[in-house]
């Protein structure tokens, strides 16, 4: 049977459901059976009437049209209440016929997922200051959900440009002075082994090479029935392992990691990271990520053969079985407590990076393991350590010292790592429709400090940057993620509050919008809809205002190989996640209206609603289909 078996006899438009065809036919017959109870304005669709009635709060005018002068106060007034149009940035002085956008959505066989962005585009000349409009095409999310690989965390052009910078830096480091070439040409001008030509016979990283070989040998030769490793250890495998993790390659892969991946996950304190003393599993996963992003394609191909070994190694860490006492900080000295927190922090960081690597570069079986088992283990360890322990409440701001800086680095690293564990959970929910393993209400983790604090290269520099942060409400009250989410979802923020929250930083704003996605999942799968969407809509509108007031942290960071690690990574695409949240929120309301219109959920479950009920699936085709359908419908996407 054809997926589009219902065809309009007037315009030949095809539909997947008879209900959609009947609704479309009304546009030809000009029948409008639904009337506004206040102004009697007719509509062809019940959900359009419901949306209209939210703004129709006055008595009918003499000409039968709805009055819109419902006591709009000046924005500075204490009693100012934003009308519904302003809630999503729609100027109230221009009326747009709901039927126009509905007709467009019907002609494309769409159950009206969102008209907000289309309206944003229509009024883009009046809203040119709203930077979120530029993200309406959802280019990044369309790319991210249609391809695999660690490189998809950045736009294709951005990744290629940074790889060119790294290659040019390599050319310069080995004495070449030829001009910059195209990507394909540059890749042929230098081979990885050339970088080791001048290496000393005894390299300080040589012990790390043998350490990695030892662990991989042990994992492959002592496989159990439950082992995920299929690789067998042979002389050729050992030689390849020795060559791939050679000291020169360790240096090279770490360089790729910092330049090409670290901006996407800045939770390792670079200033204190030492490849000679770092936990071997953490070092190894950093090398593997760097190799997968290498501009030399052979590096990524070789790296993938070790992924399952690395996964088993990382999740065999004793920290996953270690019991935690809640009064640890009282029974241990501060130095011992910080040491213990650092060990467990590095264990969670390793698990997170391995999950991210397997999720984007591993096999289909590895994808499923990460979603269903490894991620659960990572969340368990995060809860065991305690999300509320990720805080700077015990950090004294007396004077900078090496001990003080070390304490800050561990505490801030823990805050950021716990945040990214939640972000990984939210990503599985968004892209695979997996029920969340973490709930927003448990995010007692403190908001992350500015990048300038975590990127500082000395205790004095860090102390100075942190002193500026101390003046904000986030440090004064040590606000948690859940506290900020509650704040922006309760009511419209005042102008001064929006200005203050705009200082929170890109990472924290990304976490907030992902929190709204997590809340949306529960609403989308709830059977109770009365007034539940309003807090999320309020949160989305407040988030938009905050985002447009923020100053990007990397606006002054130069595009040089040495400075790439200070750039903002994929979280800079936060507006696209915001657009996606709005699409889903509006879809929830429309699906509920369709259910009521059809006389019951059993007989009128929307087609798209049924599609979204595929839970915990390996691919990302569902969300990609939603994005691509929205792009086709959106007026802005047509430009």
pLDDT category of residue 51 using cuts at 50, 70 and 90 = low
User: Residue 5: its pLDDT value, please?
Assistant: 61
- How much is the average pLDDT of 470-488? 95
Look up residue 250 and give its two tokens: 């360790």
Which has the closest alpha carbon to 462: 420, 415, 552, 399?
399
**Is residue 322 over pLDDT 70?**
no
Per cent of the chain over pLDDT 70 is: 70
Task: Indicate the DSSP class of residue 600.
Answer: S
How far apart, in Å, do the first and last CA atoms of the chain sit? 35
Highest-scoring range by mean pLDDT, 58-72, 93-107, 113-127, 194-208? 194-208
CB 246 within 8 A of CB 196: yes
* Helix pair angle (334-361, 297-304), 10° resolution: 100
Of the listed ranges 153-157, 186-190, 626-630, the one predicted with least confidence? 186-190
Highest mean pLDDT among 259-268, 333-342, 525-534, 604-613: 259-268
Alpha-carbon span 382 to 415, nearest angstrom: 11
Exposed e or buried b for every residue in 553-583, given b needs 16+ CB within 10 A? bbeebeeebeebbbbbbbbbbbbbbbbbbbb
The two structure tokens encoding residue 417: 């790592």
Report whether pLDDT(89) > 80.
no
Overall average pLDDT of the 358-382 stretch: 95
Indicate if the pLDDT at residue 98 is higher than 50: no
Taking the C-alpha atoms of residue 315 and residue 598, their distance in angstroms, rounded to an integer, is 50
What confidence tens digit (pLDDT) does each residue in 426-463 have? Answer: 999 999 999 999 999 999 999 999 999 999 999 999 99
Hey, what are 134's tokens?
Answer: 């530029």
In this prediction, residue 529 carries a pLDDT of: 58
559 neighbors 623 (Cβ within 8 angstroms): no
Angle at Cα 447 formed by Cα 461 and Cα 455, nearest 5°?
25
Return d(Cα 253, Cα 256) in angstroms, integer.
5
What secondary structure letter does DSSP report for 126?
Answer: T
Q: Which of 205, 206, 209 is nearest to 217 (CA)?
A: 209
Higher pLDDT, 309 or 81: 309
Tokens of 474: 């986030």
For residue 329, is pLDDT > 60?
no
Give this prediction's pTM: 0.75
Mean pLDDT of the 616-635 span: 85
Residue 531: the pLDDT is 55
pLDDT band at 17 (very low <50, low <70, confident <90, very high): low
Pick the more confident residue, 587 or 589.
587
């Amino acid at each position: 049977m054809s997926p589009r078996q219902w065809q309009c006899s007037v315009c030949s438009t095809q539909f997947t459901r008879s209900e959609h065809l009947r609704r479309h036919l009304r546009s030809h017959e000009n029948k409008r059976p639904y009337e506004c109870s206040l102004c009697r304005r007719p509509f062809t669709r019940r959900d359009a009437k419901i949306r209209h009635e939210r703004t129709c709060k006055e008595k009918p005018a003499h000409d039968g049209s709805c009055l819109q002068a419902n006591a709009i106060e000046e924005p500075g007034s204490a009693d100012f209440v934003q009308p519904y149009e302003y809630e999503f940035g729609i100027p109230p002085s221009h009326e747009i016929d709901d039927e126009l956008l509905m007709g467009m959505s019907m002609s494309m066989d769409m159950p009206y997922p969102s008209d907000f962005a289309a309206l944003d585009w229509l009024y883009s000349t009046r809203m040119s200051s709203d930077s979120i409009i530029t993200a309406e095409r959802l280019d990044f999310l369309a790319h991210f959900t249609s391809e695999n690989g660690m490189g998809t965390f950045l736009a294709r052009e951005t990744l290629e440009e940074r790889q060119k910078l790294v290659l040019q830096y390599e050319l310069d480091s080995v004495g070449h002075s030829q001009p910059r070439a195209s990507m394909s040409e540059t890749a042929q001008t230098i081979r990885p082994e050339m970088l080791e030509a001048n290496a000393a016979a005894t390299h300080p990283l040589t012990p790390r090479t043998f350490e990695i070989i030892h662990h991989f040998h042990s994992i492959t030769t002592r496989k159990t029935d439950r082992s995920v490793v299929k690789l067998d250890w042979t002389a050729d495998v050992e030689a390849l392992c020795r060559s791939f993790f050679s000291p020169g390659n360790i240096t090279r892969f770490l360089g790729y990691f910092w330049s090409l991946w670290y901006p996407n996950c800045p939770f390792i304190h670079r200033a204190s990271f030492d490849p000679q003393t770092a936990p071997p599993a953490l070092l190894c996963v950093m090398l593997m990520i760097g190799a997968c992003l290498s501009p030399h394609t052979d590096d990524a191909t070789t790296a993938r053969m070790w992924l399952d070994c690395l996964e088993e190694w990382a999740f065999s860490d004793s920290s996953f079985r270690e019991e935690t006492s809640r009064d640890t900080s009282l029974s241990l000295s501060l130095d011992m407590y910080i040491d213990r927190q650092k060990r467990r922090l590095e264990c969670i960081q390793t698990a997170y990076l391995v999950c991210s690597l397997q999720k984007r570069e591993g096999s289909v079986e590895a994808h499923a393991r990460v979603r269903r088992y490894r991620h659960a283990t990572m969340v368990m360890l995060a809860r065991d350590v305690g999300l509320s322990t990720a805080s700077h409440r015990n950090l004294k701001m007396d004077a900078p010292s090496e001990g003080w800086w070390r304490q800050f680095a561990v505490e801030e690293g823990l805050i950021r790592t716990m945040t990214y564990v939640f972000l990984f959970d939210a990503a599985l929910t968004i892209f695979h429709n997996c029920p969340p393993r973490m709930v927003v209400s448990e995010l007692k983790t403190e908001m992350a400090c500015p990048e300038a604090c975590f990127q500082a290269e000395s205790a004095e520099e860090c102390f100075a940057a942190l002193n500026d942060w101390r003046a904000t409400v986030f440090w004064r009250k040590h606000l948690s993620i859940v506290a900020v989410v509650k704040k922006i979802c309760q009511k419209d923020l005042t102008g001064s509050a929006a200005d203050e929250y705009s200082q929170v930083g890109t990472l924290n704003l990304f976490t907030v919008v992902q929190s709204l996605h997590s809340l949306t999942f529960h609403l989308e799968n709830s059977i109770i809809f009365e007034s539940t969407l309003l807090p999320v809509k309020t949160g989305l509108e407040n988030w938009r205002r905050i985002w447009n007031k923020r100053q990007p942290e990397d606006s002054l960071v130069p595009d040089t190989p040495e400075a790439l690690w200070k750039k903002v990574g994929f979280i800079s695409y936060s507006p696209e996640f915001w657009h996606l949240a709005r699409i889903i929120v509006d879809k929830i309301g429309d699906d509920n209206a369709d259910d009521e219109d059809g006389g019951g959920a059993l007989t009128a479950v929307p087609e798209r609603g049924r599609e979204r009920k595929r839970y915990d699936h390996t691919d990302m085709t569902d969300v990609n289909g939603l994005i691509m359908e929205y792009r086709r419908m959106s007026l802005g996407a047509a430009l």
